[in-house]
Copies of this chain bind each other. A is one copy, B any other.
């Protein structure tokens, strides 16, 4: 394991995790789950696509559901600061030997399709169409009251490679996990927006999307959303929690599986990390159990994840669970 130097002024500026595009089998069932139950706001919809956002988001969408025969994750979306940064990003990815293509995506500005070094399909854009923030439209607040997208967790057998690649683009390492008594890297937590994660890479067969995470306001929403999910026929979708992470991020969480098996984390709290003296926090796997209460993550949480459309799966060298909590 080697932690690269932080690049404070990268050649182009990625600002944050932006959105995720998921394939779903039955758009109406997904609507019942994400909109009627969890409380996402519909920005637009047609026969084949649902564009959703959280209550505080003024951008058009942070969650895109596409009707499809597959049940893959199509792409993870990242934002650049400006249009110029998009062109500089194209140059950067090309130089790295990665495919790039500018495409038209509804409700987004110019959009660059590319792939990172571990095979994650990405799309970068600088702007989206705007929508009203619904912070004060209290009559629309229901379910979990999702506020905004926060981060993605991606599984890959090449955590070190992902770390090197993202830190070269200016991501900062907030926390990381190594195997006990070794420098064997199990997980890295990378951020651009000043809180613990925008994108996380965890050692496992991949590339696969473990989860996309959205913020919710308070602890009571964690408990209430489970009750409402049960009532609306989605009781089995509560995979793990409500609980507390005794490791990176310290989040109070609940993990849900949507009708297609995609995993969504809802959580209430992170911390701010902006300053240069915030050195990456090093965890050994066994540290993660200090102070813990509650159930350990179920096998499904440890092993299952959404495939990325078109991505070939690689296995990690060691079969042991990467992130055995």
Interface size on A, residues (CB 8 A): 65
25 inter-chain pairs at a CB distance below 8 angstroms, sorted by A residue, are A58-B275, A79-B275, A126-B276, A129-B277, A130-B279, A135-B250, A136-B231, A137-B231, A138-B227, A138-B228, A138-B230, A147-B271, A194-B194, A217-B268, A217-B269, A218-B218, A218-B219, A219-B219, A223-B223, A223-B242, A227-B293, A230-B246, A234-B293, A238-B294, A242-B242
Does A292 make an interface contact (CB < 8 A)?
Answer: yes
Which parts of A12-31 form the interface with B (CB within 8 Å)? 15-16
Q: Is the CB of A277 within 8 A of B220?
A: no
CB of A148 within 8 A of chain B? yes
B277 contacts A130, C-beta separation under 8 Å:
yes
Q: Roughly how many angstroms separate A315 CA and B232 CA in the complex, as a whole number?
A: 40
Query: Do B291 and A230 have beta carbons less than 8 Å apart?
Result: yes
Point out residues on A near B: beta carbons under 8 Å: 8, 15-16, 56, 58-59, 79, 81-82, 126-130, 133, 135-139, 142, 147-148, 193-194, 217-220, 222-224, 226-232, 234-238, 242, 244, 246, 250, 252, 268-269, 271-279, 291-295
Main secondary structure of the interface of A (DSSP, over half): loop
Q: Are A291 and B235 in contact (CB under 8 A)?
A: yes
Return the 3 tightest CB-CB contacts between A and B, nearest first. A235-B293, A238-B293, A230-B291
